[in-house]
Chain A
Amino acid sequence: DQQVKQNSPSLSVQEGRISILNCDYTNSMFDYFLWYKKYPAEGPTFLISISSIKDKNEDGRFTVFLNKSAKHLSLHIVPSQPGDSAVYFCAASGSTGTASKLTFGTGTRLQVTL
């Protein structure tokens, strides 16, 4: 039972354009959401997070939007740069206090082309 779903395994975007990565979840108990970025042969690194009390969180070129009624979140990267090419994992937690319950999606591979 995949509680966190990233339905697009890959995405290709031109440099300078907006990249939109999507994530859906089924568990209504999730209240904290994170995005991690992974380069080949490296471990994932934390990118940005959002609590369920918010619907938007912004950090530089990266913005995460949360739609609780639709159980959907998205990561926007504007403008996209070649260095953004990586695999992006969406993750969700049932409580801000239980990292052991962090559930990951399957990842979306983003390729930013010149």
Chain B
Amino acid sequence: DGGITQSPKYLFRKEGQNVTLSCEQNLNHDAMYWYRQDPGQGLRLIYYSQIVNDFQKGDIAEGYSVSREKKESFPLTVTSAQKNPTAFYLCASSIDHRGARANVLTFGAGSRLTVL
């Protein structure tokens, strides 16, 4: 079955450490996204990529970095510069990056990061 795989599901990090969250899709979707979810808040966009080797900052990109070397993969690195990294992280993709279908996102199951 096609879908998005995020790993790890749970991750604990000490302050000052960088961590990388994996996101892989086998849907052949062009666009990929990273969102962050905090209690009582909607999903907020961190980074997005419309095509391989290209990505743009979302609303809350500070302290995060991404790469898009392959169409299938869009890893997110949470750096030590991110002041409040404890959150639930969701990766998503869409078949196109333009048109109505660009708004229909397929999400992974998420990764919960806790900073100790």
**B84 CB to closest chain A CB, in angstroms?**
18
Complex interface residues of chain A between 57 and 104 (CB less than 8 A to chain B): 89, 91, 93, 96-100, 102-104
B100 within 8 A of A: yes
B66 at the A interface (CB under 8 A): no
A44 to B108, CA, bound (A): 8
In whole angstroms, what is the CA distance A96 to B103 when docked?
A: 7
What A residues does B58 contact at CB under 8 A? 100
B100 touching A4 by the CB < 8 A rule?
no
Residue of B nearest to A105 (CB): B42
Q: For residue A41, which residues in chain B have a CB less than 8 angstroms away from its CB? A: 109-110
Chain B interface residue count, Cβ-Cβ cutoff 8 angstroms:
31
Chain A residues bordering chain B, tally (CB within 8 A) = 28
> In the complex, which of the residues A89, A100, A107 contacts B33, with contact meaning CB atoms closer than 8 Å?
A100
Smallest CB gap from B45: residue in A: A100
Least distance between A20 CB and chain B CB atoms (Å) = 20
- Whether A43 lies near B110 (C-beta < 8 A) is yes
A45 interface residue, CB < 8 Å from B?
A: yes
A63-B24 Cα distance, complex, nearest whole Å: 33
Inter-chain contact B43/A97, CB cutoff 8 Å? no
Question: Which chain B residues have a beta carbon within 8 Å of chain A's beta carbons?
Answer: 4, 6, 31, 33, 35, 40-45, 48, 50, 56, 58, 90, 92, 94, 97-100, 102-110
Q: List 9 A-B contacts (CB under 8 A).
A: A36-B107, A41-B109, A42-B109, A44-B43, A45-B106, A96-B103, A99-B102, A100-B48, A100-B56
